[in-house]
Amino acid sequence: MTTLVIGVGHPDRGDDAAGWLVIDLLQGRPDLTLRRVTADPSSLLTDPLWSTAGQVIIIDAVRTGSEPGTILRWTHDELLAVAPPSGSGTHDLGVATSLGLARALGRMPRDLTLIGIEGSHYDPGTPPSHAVLTAVEQVARSLDIREAPPAATTHDPKGEHMHRTEGGPR
């Protein structure tokens, strides 16, 4: 089974680098096919593995109102149910809109998970926050492709507990 992991974001926009940084830490994993997407997430639909991989995992910085560094996970069904139809993140066409487009085109992956890392600043030329860097390391260490959570969960950046998330990325 092919597992496609896509890091969405921009390496020079503060916390928006989260997806790319996780991909950096996953380099050398022979069980994963790694990709980076900058700017418009709809470009991920052009990857030949997008609709044929056994599993697709998207990692991106998100804005949900949670504490910076919070790690959130959603399945594609959860994303389509709670995310807005247009992007409100740092991308022109948001991940949720891209997923809606994939569904309309019949190109939705069978097994899709979004791992969001709550960011707090996205200014050009700034480094990622400490909270996001810590979360990036936790995501890379804990990413177990065989046991992706079926429900949206939130990881407290202080490492205290996990709990269900009632919303999606804004």
**DSSP secondary-structure letter at 135?**
H
**DSSP secondary-structure letter at 90?**
S
Q: What was the pLDDT predicted at 103?
A: 76
Q: Which amino acid is at 105?
A: L
Sorted by where each begins, the domain ranges of the chain are 40-164
Q: What was the pLDDT predicted at 108?
A: 80
Q: What was the pLDDT predicted at 5?
A: 94
Q: What was the pLDDT predicted at 105?
A: 79
Q: What was the pLDDT predicted at 57?
A: 93
Domain at 40-164, CATH from 3.40.50.1450, 3.40.50.300, 3.30.559.30, 3.40.50.720 = 3.40.50.1450
37 CB-near residues (< 8 Å, 6+ apart): 6, 7, 8, 9, 19, 43, 44
The pLDDT tens digits along the chain (170 residues) read 789 999 999 999 999 999 999 999 999 888 899 999 886 667 777 788 888 888 999 999 998 899 999 999 988 778 767 655 544 444 445 677 777 777 777 888 888 898 999 999 999 999 999 999 999 999 999 875 444 444 444 444 444 333 333 344 44
| Closest C-alpha to 121, from 17, 41, 7 | 17
| pTM beyond cutoff 0.85 | no
Q: What was the pLDDT predicted at 43?
A: 77
Q: Report the number of secondary-structure helices (H) and strands (E) in the chain.
A: 4, 7
Q: What was the pLDDT predicted at 145?
A: 47
User: Cα-flanking dihedrals φ and ψ of residue 132, to 5°?
Assistant: -70, -40
